[in-house]
Structure 1
């Protein structure tokens, strides 16, 4: 097994097609097929089902994907560190951001890192807190922003921001910033919420249990963009962090109000792995990320966010 075989395997996995993979790898199709055959001979089983409409991973192939991606990521990290600036800190840092924070933080962080440490290369991935926590534990992510609830013995966290949950709906709902909506008033109304595995859903379900409120779930989705569009489209109300409703309020594409009685908040934390050594380049990026979060809060760009850091 070598890196050429793993690269071919992952490219075919991503494209589902040997011909397309060969184009992306700048190889002829037989060369890619040969790399796959050698890899399958090495592991002793087929990794793909050769179907009419493309290449489909077998169970063995699905098992190999995670290991292969981590192996290639480690190689990328090594290359970035070796080929980086000889006079400064260098390396590849994979940063995990929540969907609600990515647009706000990506640009200022990249600018700050480029100015302070031009030898550091940033890779940004997005996902929900549970997924990011898993990636952080497995080594696929170096540093991440998570909800405070996503803690484990293999992750060290630093609280950064507390933000309240708000109710979002269409403009016809006439929700107002200065008129909080009680949890009890949502009973009987159609609600668009994340699935039960999502951190915000856990917070909402707990509040409902304590307050003895039963919500009517019209739809569930783990895509924040879908959650927003369904609510704005009039299919029901939804509950999101304040930062996620700010744009709809500013553009007047939807209406929103803070949730009250009880007031539900989530805490955004900086998360680093506790199960492995954290490189100096990762710590520098983590420090700069904290600075960007603090600055966004200071400027009021993090809508209704309360800074918790020192």
Structure 2
């Protein structure tokens, strides 16, 4: 098993064609076919099957492609780290951002790193907290923002921000930041909610239990953008962290108010793997991310957020 074989199976899996893969790899088609067949013979199992839609990995092939992609990524990262310019931090860093924070943090973070740390190649992934945690555990992320999570045997969680959840409604509802909305009042409206199983939905469900409010959930989605679009179109209200709706409220697309009775908070943490070496490039990105978050809170761009230190209790403690 060699690097050429790994590149061949990953590329064929991505494009679905040996011919196209050969073009991308700057090889002739028989060479790519030979690399795949040699690897299949070594493993004793077929890695691809030919279908009307092109080359598709078998079940075993999908496993090999996933592992090969990670191995190639690690080799690429190692090459970036061991060939630095003297005095310059270099490397590839994959960072996970909560979907609700991406509009606030992504652009200023990329701009700051491009200006001050040009040797660091940043790769951004956005998703809900549960997906990001799984990707961190799988080794696909170097560090990530998560929420309402303590340190676990596999990762360290460093508290950053404690923020309030908001009731979000169409502009016509006239919700205001200085007039909190009781949870029972929000629950009287049809609700567009995060899908069951998401950490944000668990916070909302717990608040409903505490307030003894019955929710009329008319739609569930795993996309914050879809939640906001449906609310703006008049399908109901929703509940989101303030950071996720600040721009929408500022431009008049939505109205929003902090939830009360009970107040509902979430704690955002920076999670990193507990074991293994932390490359200098990852440390650089972590420091800049924390600086951007502190700046956003200090300037009021992260609504109803409070900076947390490592000694500050997280939600539920």
Return the TM-score normalized by structure 1: 0.91
Measure, in 1, the Cα distance between the counterparts of 2:173 and 2:35.
58
Measure, in 1, the Cα distance between the counterparts of 2:115 and 2:107.
13
Shift of 1:232: 1.3
Distance 1:16 1:169, change over 3 A: farther
1:275 correspondence with 2:275: yes
Distance 1:235 1:81, change over 3 A: same
Aligned to 2:224: 224
Aligned to 1:170: 170
Measure, in 2, the Cα distance between the counterparts of 1:235 and 1:42.
57
Q: Is the 8 A contact 1:137 1:275 kept in 2?
A: no
Aligned to 1:193: 193
3-state SS, counterpart of residue 252 of structure 1 = coil
Distance 1:80 1:264, change over 3 A: same
3-state SS, counterpart of residue 234 of structure 1 = coil
With 201-210 and 53-62 compared, the bigger mean Cα shift is at: 53-62
Runs of 4+ aligned residues of structure 1 deviating over 4 Å after TM superposition are: none
Shift of 1:5: 2.3
With 266-275 and 144-153 compared, the bigger mean Cα shift is at: 144-153
Shift of 1:115: 4.0
Aligned to 1:296: 296
Aligned to 1:62: 62
Shift of 1:151: 4.3
Deviations 1:209-243 (A, max 9, x none): 23222212212111211121112112221111101
Deviations 1:57-89 (A, max 9, x none): 322233234322221221111111123223332
Measure, in 2, the Cα distance between the counterparts of 1:290 and 1:76.
26
Deviations 1:142-195 (A, max 9, x none): 111111326422111111111111122222333232332222123353221112
Structure 2: runs of 5+ lacking an equivalent: 311-317
Q: Is the 8 A contact 1:133 1:150 kept in 2?
A: no
Measure, in 2, the Cα distance between the counterparts of 1:72 and 1:258.
46
Q: Is the 8 A contact 1:99 1:127 kept in 2?
A: yes
Query: RMSD across aligned C-alpha pairs, in angstroms?
Result: 2.2
Aligned to 1:149: 149
Measure, in 2, the Cα distance between the counterparts of 1:65 and 1:162.
39
Aligned to 1:78: 78
Measure, in 1, the Cα distance between the counterparts of 2:26 and 2:213.
59
With 38-47 and 245-254 compared, the bigger mean Cα shift is at: 38-47
Q: Is the 8 A contact 2:149 2:269 kept in 1?
A: no
Paired residues, what number? 310
